[in-house]
Structure formats: structure tokens, C-alpha cells
Structure 1
């Protein structure tokens, strides 16, 4: 089930479950993996920035990768984040991931890259390091990584690396970038590239209309992401926007820099997906005031989307 440039749908970004004491929670890993499949996701991305990959040691990284891929990798494609300061570690995790059944890997640029030529050269070397037979996702997230990739640079990377089959598009504002990349394809100056978008889904409704193939992001209700992607693909614009708008206040709240993962894990705990909303230290957590605000938002969203009612009820009980 190798990743290809025709990939569409919703690839959820998965958090890494921990016990309250910081140990990896393998039972919650299994439950979470099944949850994403049951939510209609067409893929799963693990060990990304919201997966706290940088807080895991090598053995823990291997454990998480093997457990998730072996549980659901034959059902939906799993993409593994392999970004690393050095190519040796990147190659090791990439080869492990593919050996256990991953569909591909995701690579983000290091913040030291400053020029267009440096960026293009880096990804050419990364492709050589992991092996040209490994399909990979280019992560474009300048807000967090401080590396700006113009559409022309992305075109150069894609042209030099046939194994690059997908763009995880997280530029902001980035709607015009999607339009430009699709124009490259239509004029024949860039081959077909799957474009899945991030940023917590904040612009997913319009990104789909600009030519995105779906979402690769996290949200405590991945069902919303899958529905918006499906409705948009079916041309049901108003339905897609109506559903998206109902969830937007909670999406926005979850997108707060530095606090978003705490919010997402808290809601996933309310939903029974995670046993604990703990993060590996250094960490943040949802304060009592924040939990009340989350409960309020869940109640508001539940009035428009009944699938949120269970979490809303649990949130009310937790803050009562």
C-alpha cells in the first residue's frame, strides 16, 4: 500500500498517547488507531510535530511505529514522520517504517535552510539517504519551521525527486500557492502531486475548492475533516461550509500555538479515545478555565452536530 500521487481524503495527524507518568500507553495506541479508521480517515500520519516525536527515544519511536503500522497499516496507509537533524537517523527510521508496512514517510526541512538552492539540495540528499524507492511527503510549514518554499521551489524539488508524491501544505496564507501549483500541473511544467492540507483544518473548506486533495492534519473530531473533504469533492459546497462553520470555533480554539495539543488530547480523552491527556515533558496542560471554555464550545458544536454530544456531556461532568 505504498503512497502515490493519487492519494486523496483525510490523513489524520495522530498524537502519541502517554500515561500520566509519561510512559507510552500502548492500549490507547491501539484504541486510537482503530478510532481513526472508524472515523472514516483514508490514512494516518504518525510521529509528526503534534505527535511529540522529538520527545521519544529510539526504542520508543520504533515501538510506536511498529504498533500502529502493524495494527492498521493493511487497512489504511500510514505515513511516518522521519525528520531528523542527521540523515543516518532519518534513513534508519524510514527503512524500519517501510519494512513493517508503512506507506511512506514525511520529511520537514531543517530551519537552517535559507536559500532556494539549499532547500532543493537538502531534499535531493534526503531522497538519496532514505532510498529512491521510499515514497515521501514534503512538509511545507513555514510558520513553525521558518523555511519558505515558493511554488517554484516545490516544483524543483518534485522534479528532482520522483519519490516525492505528496505535499503537506501548511503555508499561511496559502490558498494562492495551491492554485499556482495546480496551474503548473495543468500547463505541464510539474507532474501530478497529491496536496493535503494542515493548519488544524482552519482553511480546509476553501483549500478543497482551490484544488487540494484532502487534509493531513489533526482535530479532535476527524469525522468533521472527512465529511468536509467528501462533501467538497462531491460539489456540495454549501453543505461543506455549513458543517465546517459549526465546528470552526472549536477548530480555532484547538489551533492556539503552544496549547493546541493539550486541547486536542483533552477532548480525545473526553471521547474515550485516550486514557490520559498527558504530554511528555516539557509539556502544557489545559487549565481549569480552559476546560470550562472547551466544555462550552463542545456544547455549542453539539447543537449543530449530534456526534459531539457525548464529548459535550463528558466535559460538563468533568467541570461540574
Structure 2
């Protein structure tokens, strides 16, 4: 089904599994898809920052998307289509929607430096892909170096009806969520879905501020699903207790540069993917870093049986 403003829950950001020689690992891709959806995720977001999208060519991106969409059946698959030019963006967007994707995600290019430029860019992007495609606005200023105030997001949402979701990754960003929900309450902005990223580092309070769920790639998405459900049920203390147990590993995984290596390593340790390989250029974990992750997993296992893994 096409993505719409009622979307909630966890849309896990999926890494792209590779063999050590750099080939896409299709068996791990299938197993990962089954695992994420079996863990209770409402959907998956693929070809995002953590999916190493720039390292794939156009044909690979489309084929990988089609394979996941076929495997996921009715689950919602959102595909990152951010590209340097609108021709490539349109080609991938139309291709994945024809294959059955729920929607696409677009991030602003880093050269945008004022409000009108930001708004103009998204008008051009939607003109390129077509106004019939539901899309997610990715707000990740730490990476893309583009500052979008709540007012600018409101203008984009108002101007472009096909925008149905915000991927909120500002940091700190709790007041931004409150401001956007305030706009919705006073009638100055139509409702949109808000899912939060940043490895889940503020998800405990983001849910309380009005987020509908998470769109991130922490290596325990099953925990994120549980946390969102507890928060939605008003089980605040239980939600925070669960979050607190995972916070040291969430923090470690959120490191710039090496974060994807950590995430892939833990997913490999959980048996979700066969290898923690990244396609080059890539950063690798040191032996010391692996020992630190194993220590964090052993501590987490005292509180959450999902972290009890076979010894290395």
C-alpha cells in the first residue's frame, strides 16, 4: 500500500549486505528482510545513508530494491532516491514504485544555504519524480549540513501534498517535534507522520513529544518495536527501563565513521547477515573495538536475552 500520513511503528533502516569481495549478498538480503519483518517492523527503509547507496550503481540499486519489495510482500518499503541529479532520482523513484514500493525518501543536497533555496529544491525534486509518489522528507542537518526550521518544514508540507512523512534526525530536536505537532494542533499544518532516526538515541523522549515511531538502523530493531509499543501504550517507565539497558550500545553504534561497521558486526553476530563487510571505501573496526562491542553485548544480556549470543 502507498505510504500515507498514518504510518507509525518502526521502519528499520536496512544496511546492504555484501560478501567480503564486495558483491551484494543476496542470501543475507533475504534473511535480513525476513528478520526485520519478523521482528515486528512495519516496514524497511533501504538505500539510505546506512545502506551504502552511493556505492551501488543504478542497476544494482533497482534490482536490490525489487528483491526486497518482492520478499517483503505487503510490508511498506521506502527507498532512498537522493541523487546528485534529478534524472537519476526520477529513474530510481519511478522504477521502485512500479515494483511496489510504498514511497521514497529525499534528502536535501549540502549546498543549500537559505530557506528559499531549500523550498525551491524540493519543488523541483517533486516535479521531477512526479506528484503521485508519496515521499519522506529527511531532515538530518548533522550529515547534510542543511538547517530546516519547523517553519520551513511546514512550508514544504503545505506546498507539496505528496510529502507524507518527516524523517526527523535533528539533534537536539525534541523542541522541533513539539513545534511541528503544535502547528498540526492549531491547524496551520496538515498532519504528517514523524519517524525518528539518529540510532534511536532520543527515541524515549521523542515518542513522548509526538513521534509516531522510529526510522533508524540500530542492530536490535526488535527492541525498537517493543519500545514504540510500550510508549504508545503509556508504559513510560517500562519503555525507559528497556531503553536504558540498550543505551550504552546505542551510543557506541552511533559513532561517526565506524558506526556502520559496529551495526553490521552486531547483525552478523545475531545471525542476520553472513558478513560485516562493507563495499569500499569503508571504515573497519579494530580488534579493540570488537572486544568493546562484545563487552557491551555481555552487559546488555543481563537485562535482555536477545543479546545472549554464542561466544566468538
1:239-318 equivalences under 5 Å are 239-310=238-309, 313=310, 317-318=311-312
Question: Quick one: distance in 2 between partners of 1:130 and 1:306?
Answer: 45
1:52 counterpart = 2:67: no
Which stretches of structure 1, 4 residues or more, deviate above 3 A after TM superposition? none
Question: Quick one: distance in 2 between partners of 1:144 and 1:207?
Answer: 20
Q: Deviation string for 1:159-211 (max 9, x for gaps)? A: 11000000000000000000000000000000001000000000000000000
Question: Quick one: distance in 2 between partners of 1:302 and 1:38?
Answer: 21
1:199 counterpart = 2:198: yes
1:1-320 equivalences under 5 Å are 1-72=1-72, 74-310=73-309, 313=310, 317-318=311-312
Q: Deviation string for 1:125-167 (max 9, x for gaps)? A: 1111111000000000000000000000000000110000000
Question: Quick one: distance in 1 between partners of 2:238 and 2:45?
Answer: 27
Helix, strand or coil: the match of 1:15?
A: coil
Q: Deviation string for 1:264-283 (max 9, x for gaps)? A: 00011111111110000011
Helix, strand or coil: the match of 2:54?
A: helix
Helix, strand or coil: the match of 1:282?
A: coil
Question: Quick one: distance in 1 between partners of 2:176 and 2:75?
Answer: 28
**TM-score normalised to structure 2 length:** 0.99
Question: Quick one: distance in 1 between partners of 2:99 and 2:144?
Answer: 29
Q: Deviation string for 1:244-288 (max 9, x for gaps)? A: 000000000000000100000001111111111000001112111
| Number of corresponding residues | 312
Q: Deviation string for 1:188-240 (max 9, x for gaps)? A: 00000100000000000000000000000011110111111100000000000
Question: Quick one: distance in 1 between partners of 2:153 and 2:284?
Answer: 36
Q: How many angstroms does 1:62 deviate by? A: 1.4
Question: Quick one: distance in 2 between partners of 1:33 and 1:240?
Answer: 26
**TM-score normalised to structure 1 length:** 0.97
Question: Quick one: distance in 1 between partners of 2:270 and 2:150?
Answer: 39
Q: Cα RMSD over matched residues?
A: 0.6
Unaligned runs of 5+ in 1: none
Helix, strand or coil: the match of 1:80?
A: strand
Question: Quick one: distance in 2 between partners of 1:276 and 1:249?
Answer: 23
Unaligned runs of 5+ in 2: none
Q: How many angstroms does 1:75 deviate by? A: 2.7
